Structure 1
Amino acid sequence: MPPAPDAAQREAARSLEVIKRMREAEEAILERAPEHDLEPSLDRIQGVMELLGDPQRTFPVIHLTGTNGKTSTTRIIESLLREMGLKTGRFTSPHLHSMTERIALSGEPISPERFLAAYDEVMPFVEMVDARSLAADGPRMTYFEVLVAVAYAAFADAPVDVAVVEVGMGGSWDATNVADGSVAVVTPIALDHQHFLGHDVESIATEKSGIIKPGALVVSGVQEPEVAQILADRAAAVGARIALEGNDFGLLTREVAVGGQQLAVRGLAGDYAELLLPLHGGHQAHNTVLAIAAVEAFVGGGEQRLDPDVVRAGLGAASSPGRLEVVRRSPTVLVDAAHNPAGALALREALEDSFNFARIIGVIAILQDKDATEMLEVLEPVLEHVVVSRTTSPRAMRPHELGALAAEIFGEDRVTVVADLPDALDVAAGLADEGGLGGGVLATGSVTTAAEVRMLLGVSEV
C-alpha cells in the first residue's frame, strides 16, 4: 500500500489544480466577445448584478473616466487610500500580462484562488443572463462584462473599504457603470475609440459624463471649454458638485528630480509641498493633482486636508507599469502604452522634459484601428530613427503598411521595417549604441507593445 501523501505533496497537487482551473477560466472568458467588439447596453451586466444581490452597492466607489491617464490616476488614488489604512479594490484595463492584474486587492493582483472563488460565484448567473439574451436574439455577455462581474463580486467578498474603478471605454453604457461612484473622476478628454464614442470631443464627453451620478462630487482634469461645459451641465442635471483643475485645485510647482519629479499641489482643502513622485512627465504630475483632489473628495467631501506625510508616502509608493517605464539599462529601454495622438503628445513632452538622451530610437507597433499617422507625426521630432514592427495582437497593423506611413513622415532613411518584435528590439538597441554612449530605445504604440517588450526583457511585475 503506497504511503499517504505528505503535506507538501498535497499542497503541490492543490496548486496544480488551481493553475489548471485558472487556465480553464481564462480560456472560457477569452472565448467571449473581446473588448473592442462591444454591445453597448447595461442590461446584461445589470441582470447579473441583480441576481447576485447587487454586490457593487456594498462598498463605496471612486469611478474614473477620460481618454488618457485613467490607469495611472487610478493607481495613484489607490496608493494614497492604502497609505491611509483603507482596504482597497482596484479595477483597471487593459492588462499588461495577465487578466488578474485588472482586479487588485490592497494593491496586489487578485490571487488565482480568490479569482476562482468570485468566478464560480458569478458564472451560474452569467449563464442565466446569456440564455435569456440569446433567447431574445441578443449576444452573450462579453469578456469585459464578465470581468466586471467577477471584480465586483471579489470586492464584496473581500470585503473592501473602497473600490477605485476605471471604465473600460466611455461611461454611460460601460459595464462598470452599474456602480454609483460617490466620487467621479474625469481625466482629460480627447479623440479615441471614435467608432464607439463619437467623432468629436463633445460626443465623447457626453458619453463619458454618464458616470456622474446624483449627489456625487466630480473632480475633472483640464478640459477643452466645450467639454468642461458638458460635464458641468451633467453635474447640474443630476445634483452633483463639480471641481475643475485650474479653478478649484491645481499644480503649484513642478521640478524634474532624480527618479521622477518633485511637486507642490493645491488640493480642494489645502496645499501639499515637497511631494516626490517616482513617475516621469508633466502628464503624471497632473494625474497626481487629480488623484489628490479625488481622495480629498472621498474622505472629507473636499473640505478636509489630508495628512501631508500620508500624501508623501502614498505618492512615493505609486507606480504605473508600462507608462514611460525604464525596463532595461545599457542601452536604456523605455516602454510606454501611448496608443492615440493625445497619449503620444504627452509621451513626447515627457521625453523632452525628463530625459537627456543623445538620440532615441523608436520601436513602433500600432493597432490597425488607431490613428497611426498622427501618432507618428507627433513623435517624429524626438525620434532619430524608427524601427517599425508588430505585436502578436490580431489587431496589429502590418509592418510594411506602418512602415510606408512612417517613411512619409520620417523619410525612408530614418525607417527600418522588421517583421518580428524581438528582432526589432535588437535592431533598435544596436542603432541606439551606434556612436557611443547616450542612446536610448523607446517602445510604444499600444498597451500590447509595452507589455510584449516588458516580457521580452524579463519584466513582468505589476
Structure 2
Amino acid sequence: MNDASDANDAFDDRDDPESRDAADAVYAALLDRIGEGSPRPRLAPTRRAVELLGDPHRAAPVIHITGTNGKTSTSRMIEAMLRASGLRTGLLTSPHLERFTERIRIDGEPISDEAVARNWEEILPFLAIVDAELEGSGEEPLTFFETLTVLAFACFADAPVDVVVLEVGMGGEWDSTNVADGQVAVFTPIDLDHQARLGSTVTEIARTKSGIIKPAASVVSAKQPDAALRVLQDAAELTESTLAVEGDAFDVLESRVAVGGQLISVRGLAGEYRDIALPLFGRHQAENAAVAIAAVEAFIGGGAVRLADEVVHDGLSVAASPGRLQAIAADPTVIVDAAHNPHGAESLVAALDEYFDFDELVFVFGVLADKDVDGIAAVLARSGGSFLVTRPESERARDVRDVTAILTARVGADRVQAVERLDDALDEARAWAAESPKRAVVVTGSIALVGEAMAIAADRDWGRA
C-alpha cells in the first residue's frame, strides 16, 4: 500500500461519479460473498490474508470492542476522544445504515470512495490466493465480513493511522477482527442475542466474547450480569490482564437531561470529569460514555493518568450515534432507534420516558428472522404504543404476517396493523402523528429498517427535529 497516500485525500471524491461507482462495485463484490448473517467460526482465513498483505493489522495499536448492545456508540465515543487528544484514528463498525463506507472511518470521516476502491484493487490478488487455498481444501471462500475486515486493515495501514478502534462483527473469539491483538479490550453490556451462533445462555455468550482478551491487556467492562462478569474475571486472570468494571473502578456520577441530550459527570479510572455535554439521549449512553472514558484512560496512560478536560469535553461533545434515539424529522416527530433485542428495547423505552414528552407513540416495527420478536414486543408494549408492522429490505427479514401474529398475541389486535412496505408504513404513521404535537413515530426493531427510514427521510426532505 502507498504510505504517502491519505485515505481521505486532497479532495473529497464523494461526489465524483467515477469514484462512487468504483466504491459501489466494491460493495457489490462483497455482497457476492457469504453474507453477514452466516459468519464462519474461524480465524485462519483472515489471518492468512493479512499475513500475505504484510500484517496491516499490526500497523497501529488496537482498542477492541465487543458486547451485545452499545458497541457502535461506545466505539464512536472512544474514537472521538482519541481524535481530540491529537491522534489520527481508524474506526471499524458494523453494520452500516446507508453506505458501506460508513463502516471504515479515518479521522472521524467515512473513508473516501477513491481510497476504498484503490485499496480493494491492491488486496484483490491476495484475496484470490486465500479463496483458492480454501476451495482447494474443501472450505468456503472468504465471507463478506472476513473480506471487509481485511479491507479495513489495509485502509488503516494505507492512511496511515495512529490507533485503530475495532468493533467486532459478532461474538469475539472467532470473529475475524480477532486476528488483531487489542491493547485494550472493551466490553459493553452482555445479554442474549444471536443465540444460534453464540450460545443459549449469557455465560456461553460471554465466553465467546471474552476471546478478544489478549495476554496482559487492559480490560474495561460495563456493568454485567453476574454470569458474564464471572467469565470476564476468569478470562482476565488467565491472560494476566487487568479488569476494570463500571460501578467499581469507574462510574457515572450524574446524568441530567439537557437540550439536545444530557450533562454527565463521570468518575474515571484516574480522575473525575464534570458537566460533560453529551449530545445523545438515554442513561445507557451516559454509561457508554463512562466505559469510553475508561477505555481511553487505559490506552493513553494505562489507567493511571487523568485525561485533559478538553479531550473528554471536546471528544464527547461531538459524539454521534446515528440511528440510536435519533430524531430524523419534525412536525411530526420521527425517531429512529436500532433496538433489535429486548435489552436494547429496555434502553429505548426508558429513554423515551425520561427524555421526551409524548403522550402517544406508534412503533414502525420490522425485524430480522433470528430476533426475539416477542421479547422485544413485551418491552415496547409497556409504553402503551401501537404498532405498524413492516419489513426491512433484507433476505433475512421476518415475514410481516408472522411478526403481526406475535404482536397481536402480545398486545391485542386493536394495537397492531400490518403494512408491507416501509414507505407506506411511514406515511401512515406520520399522518396519524400529525394530528397532535404530543404524538410521535418511532422506527425500531432492525438496524436495516432504521437505515432505510433515514434514507427515506433524507430523500423526502422531512427536516430534522
Smaller-chain TM-score range? Answer: over 0.9
For residues 232-381 of structure 1, the aligned pairs below 5 Å read 232-381=233-382
Across the aligned residues of Structure 1 and Structure 2, the Cα RMSD in angstroms comes to 1.6
Give 1:118 shift: 1.5
Secondary structure at the counterpart of residue 262 of structure 1: strand
Residue in 2 that maps onto 1:42? 43
Determine whether 1:107 maps to 2:108: yes
Question: Tell me, which stretches of 5 or more residues in structure 2 are unaligned?
Answer: 1-11
Residue in 2 that maps onto 1:93? 94
Letter in 2 for 1:314: G
Secondary structure at the counterpart of residue 265 of structure 2: strand
Determine whether 1:176 maps to 2:183: no
Residue in 2 that maps onto 1:68? 69
Q: Give the whole-Å Cα distance in 2 for the aligned partners of 1:39 and 1:278.
A: 37
Letter in 2 for 1:335: V
Residue in 2 that maps onto 1:439? 439
For residues 103-142 of structure 1, the aligned pairs below 5 Å read 103-142=104-143
Determine whether 1:28 maps to 2:19: no
Determine whether 1:396 maps to 2:397: yes
Residues 72 and 320 of structure 1 are in contact (CA less than 8 Å); yes or no, is this contact kept in structure 2?
yes
Residues 361 and 383 of structure 1 are in contact (CA less than 8 Å); yes or no, is this contact kept in structure 2?
no
Letter in 2 for 1:136: S
Task: Work out the number of aligned pairs and report it.
Answer: 449
Residue in 2 that maps onto 1:5? none
Letter in 1 for 2:96: H
Determine whether 1:454 maps to 2:465: no
Letter in 1 for 2:453: V
Q: Give the whole-Å Cα distance in 1 for the aligned partners of 2:372 and 2:25.
A: 35
Secondary structure at the counterpart of residue 255 of structure 2: strand
Residues 423 and 456 of structure 2 are in contact (CA less than 8 Å); yes or no, is this contact kept in structure 1?
yes
Letter in 1 for 2:410: I
Residues 392 and 446 of structure 2 are in contact (CA less than 8 Å); yes or no, is this contact kept in structure 1?
no
Residues 362 and 383 of structure 1 are in contact (CA less than 8 Å); yes or no, is this contact kept in structure 2?
no
Q: Give the whole-Å Cα distance in 1 for the aligned partners of 2:289 and 2:99.
A: 26
Letter in 1 for 2:448: T
Q: Give the whole-Å Cα distance in 2 for the aligned partners of 1:330 and 1:382.
A: 21
Q: Give the whole-Å Cα distance in 1 for the aligned partners of 2:16 and 2:447.
A: 30
* 4+ residue runs over 4 A deviation: none
Letter in 2 for 1:70: K
Secondary structure at the counterpart of residue 387 of structure 2: strand
Residue in 1 that maps onto 2:9? none
Residue in 2 that maps onto 1:405? 406
TM-score by length of 2: 0.94
Q: Give the whole-Å Cα distance in 2 for the aligned partners of 1:107 and 1:248.
A: 29
Residues 52 and 126 of structure 2 are in contact (CA less than 8 Å); yes or no, is this contact kept in structure 1?
yes
Give 1:345 shift: 0.9
Residues 22 and 114 of structure 2 are in contact (CA less than 8 Å); yes or no, is this contact kept in structure 1?
no
Secondary structure at the counterpart of residue 182 of structure 1: strand
Secondary structure at the counterpart of residue 398 of structure 2: coil
Give 1:412 shift: 0.8
Question: Tell me, which stretches of 5 or more residues in structure 1 are unaligned?
Answer: 1-10
Q: Give the whole-Å Cα distance in 2 for the aligned partners of 1:383 and 1:31.
A: 42
Determine whether 1:198 maps to 2:178: no
Give 1:114 shift: 0.9
Secondary structure at the counterpart of residue 443 of structure 2: strand
Q: Give the whole-Å Cα distance in 1 for the aligned partners of 2:91 and 2:60.
A: 12
Residue in 2 that maps onto 1:152? 153
Give 1:120 shift: 1.6
Q: Give the whole-Å Cα distance in 1 for the aligned partners of 2:69 and 2:288.
A: 10
Residue in 2 that maps onto 1:209? 210
Give 1:422 shift: 0.5
Q: Give the whole-Å Cα distance in 1 for the aligned partners of 2:133 and 2:385.
A: 56
Q: Give the whole-Å Cα distance in 2 for the aligned partners of 1:272 and 1:417.
A: 47
Q: Give the whole-Å Cα distance in 1 for the aligned partners of 2:24 and 2:426.
A: 30
Q: Give the whole-Å Cα distance in 2 for the aligned partners of 1:353 and 1:399.
A: 31
Give 1:17 shift: 3.4
Determine whether 1:57 maps to 2:58: yes
Q: Give the whole-Å Cα distance in 1 for the aligned partners of 2:22 and 2:359.
A: 49
TM-score by length of 1: 0.95
Gap change, CA 1:388 and 1:16, over 3 Å in 2: closer
